[in-house]
C-alpha cells in the first residue's frame, strides 16, 4: 500500500508541530517520499524536533560485545548457532568488568553489555558482573542478552541494571516467523512488557529490507513502538551475511533506513534513537547523516580489539573510534551528553 496520492507534506508537518499523532497512512506517505528536496525537509524537521524534545546532546554508550556464542538460528545473523565457520569467544567476568572500568575512565556514562543468547553466563554470573560494575563505577548499565527468563531479568534489575535492549526486528508476524524461526513473536513481545514492568528502560527496533517487508510494515513498526513502553528504538538496514541462509538476499536500502530514522523521530517524539552501526556500514557518512536526521545516541564499540572482528553479525561492520565520534558531534554543532542520558519513557 502506498500513501494517499493527494497528500502533501505541509499539513503533515503542521500536525507534527502541533504535537498531534500521525495516522498510519500519513506515516506511509512520509516513508514513500523519493524527492530529494522533500526528503531534506523531513531530515531537517527531524533534527529540529530532536533538539526541541531532547536538547542538543548526543549520548554515548560504550558497547562490550562479550560473547559471540548464540543458541539461536536467526536466518539473517552471522552469530547463528549453525554458522560453524565463526570462531567463537567468551570474555571472562573479570575481563568484562575491567573493560567497563576503562569505559568509565574514558568519561562515558553508559556501558552496554551485549552477547548472543549465551546461557553459559548464568543468572548469578551476570548478576555479579552488574554488581561489580556498579561498585567500581557510576556507569548506567544496558543489557542486550536476548530472551531470558523473568526471574533472571528481575535479579539483574535488582542488582542495578538500568536498561534492556530486545529488538522485535519486525512486527509483521509472518516475516518474524521466517527470520527468527526459533523465536515466538508473542513470547518476545511478552518479555518486552516484563522488562517495562520491572522498571527497565526498554529498547526495541528493527531492520529495514527484510524479505517481503513493505513500507506499510515499517509504519507498523513505528506505531508499535509508539503504543508500547519503549524508551529507545534502533533501526538499521539488513546487511546480507555470506554464511547465513540469507547470503543471496540483497542488502536493505540505506537511504530508506535514513528516511525511516527521520520519520521515527517525527512519529516517536522523545524516544531515544541511535545512529546504528548498520547504517554507518551501508551509507557514506551514515552516522553524521543519522544525527542530522534525528538520532541522539551513538554506541562506540569498546569490545577489546582481539575479539572485535569475531562479533560478525554482518560483514564489514563499521568501526569508529571514540575520538572520531566526539569530533563528529562537535563538528556538526551538537554536544556530547554529560549525564547518564536516561530515556524519558
Q: CB under 8 Å, gap of 24 or more: what pairs does 31-35 form? A: 31/3, 31/215, 31/218, 31/219, 31/256, 31/259, 31/260, 31/263, 32/2, 32/3, 32/215, 33/9, 33/259
Cα–Cα distance for residue pair 219/224, rounded to 1 Å: 9
Q: Is residue 314 at the binding interface for ligand 5AD, with CB under 6 A as the rule? A: yes
CB atoms within 10 A of CB 137: 19
Site string for ligand 5AD, 66-85 (x = CB under 6 A): ----------xx--------
Do 212 and 175 touch, CB atoms closer than 8 A? yes
* Among residues 74, 129, 208, 278, the one that binds ligand SF4 under rule CB under 6 A: 74
Q: Is residue 79 at the binding interface for ligand SF4, with CB under 6 A as the rule? A: yes
* Minimum gap (Å) between residue 144 Cβ and ligand 5AD: 7
Residue 61 interaction partner, one of ligand SF4, ligand 5AD, none, beta carbon < 5-8 Å per kind:
none
- Report DSSP state, residue 200: -
Cα–Cα distance for residue pair 84/78, rounded to 1 Å: 10
* Among residues 278, 291, 329, 336, the one that binds ligand 5AD under rule CB under 6 A: 278
Q: State which residue, 74 or 322, has the beta carbon closest to ligand SF4.
A: 74
* Minimum gap (Å) between residue 185 Cβ and ligand 5AD: 15
Instruction: Identify the three-state secondary structure at position 43.
Output: helix
Q: Is residue 169 at the binding interface for ligand 5AD, with CB under 6 A as the rule? A: yes
Q: Is residue 70 at the binding interface for ligand SF4, with CB under 6 A as the rule? A: yes
Residue 239 interaction partner, one of ligand 5AD, ligand SF4, none, beta carbon < 5-8 Å per kind:
ligand 5AD
Name residues contacting ligand SF4, limited to 103-132 (CB under 6 A). 116-117
CB atoms within 10 A of CB 1: 11
Q: Which residues bind ligand 5AD (CB under 6 A)?
A: 76-77, 167, 169, 207, 236, 238-239, 241, 278, 313-314
Amino acid at each position: 500500500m502506498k500513501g494517499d496520492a493527494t497528500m502533501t507534506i505541509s499539513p503533515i508537518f503542521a500536525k507534527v508541530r502541533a504535537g498531534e499523532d500521525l495516522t498510519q497512512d500519513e506515516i506511509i506517505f512520509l516513508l514513500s517520499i523519493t524527492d530529494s528536496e522533500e526528503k531534506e525537509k523531513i531530515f531537517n524537521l527531524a533534527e529540529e524536533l530532536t533538539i526541541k524534545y531532547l536538547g542538543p546532546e548526543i549520548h554515548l554508550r560504550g558497547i562490550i560485545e562479550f560473547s559471540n556464542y548464540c543458541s539461536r538460528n536467526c536466518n539473517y545473523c552471522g552469530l547463528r548457532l549453525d554458522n560453524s565457520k565463526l570462531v567463537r569467544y567468551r570474555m571472562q567476568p573479570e575481563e568484562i568488568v575491567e573493560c567497563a572500568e576503562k569505559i568509565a575512565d574514558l568519561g562515558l556514562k553508559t556501558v552496554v553489555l551485549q552477547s548472543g543468547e549465551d546461557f553459559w553466563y548464568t543468572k548469578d554470573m551476570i548478576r555479579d558482573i552488574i554488581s561489580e560494575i556498579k561498585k567500581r563505577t557510576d556507569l548506567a548499565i544496558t543489557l542486550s542478552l536476548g530472551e531470558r527468563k523473568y526471574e533472571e531479568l528481575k535479579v539483574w534489575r535488582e542488582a542495578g541494571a538500568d536498561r534492556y535492549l530486545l529488538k522485535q526486528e519486525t512486527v509483521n508476524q509472518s516475516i518474524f516467523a521466517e527470520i527468527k524461526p526459533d523465536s515466538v513473536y508473542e513470547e518476545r513481545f511478552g518479555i518486552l512488557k516484563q522488562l517495562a514492568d520491572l522498571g527497565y528502560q526498554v529498547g526495541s527496533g528493527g531492520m529495514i529490507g527484510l524479505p517481503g517487508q513493505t513500507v506499510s510494515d515499517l509504519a507498523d513498526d513505528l506505531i508499535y513502538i509508539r503504543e508500547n513502553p519503549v524508551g529507545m528504538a534502533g533501526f538499521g538496514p539488513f546487511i546480507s551475511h555470506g554464511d547465513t541462509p540469507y547470503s543471496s538476499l540483497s542488502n536493505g536500502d540505506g537511504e530508506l533506513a535514513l528516511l525511516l530514522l527521520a520519520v521515527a523521530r517525527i512519529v516517536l517524539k522523545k524516544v531515544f534513537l541511535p545512529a546504528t552501526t548498520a547504517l554507518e556500514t551501508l551509507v557514506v557518512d551514515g552516522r553524521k547523516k543519522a544525527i542530522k536526521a534525528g538520532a541522539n545516541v551513538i554506541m562506540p564499540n569498546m569490545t577489546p580489539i582481539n575479539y572485535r572482528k569475531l562479533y560478525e553479525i554482518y560483514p564489514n561492520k563499521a568501526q569508529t573510534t571514540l575520538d572520531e565520534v566526539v569530533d563528529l558531534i562537535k563538528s556538526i554543532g551538537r554536544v556530547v551528553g554529560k549525564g547518564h542520558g536516561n530515556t524519558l519513557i
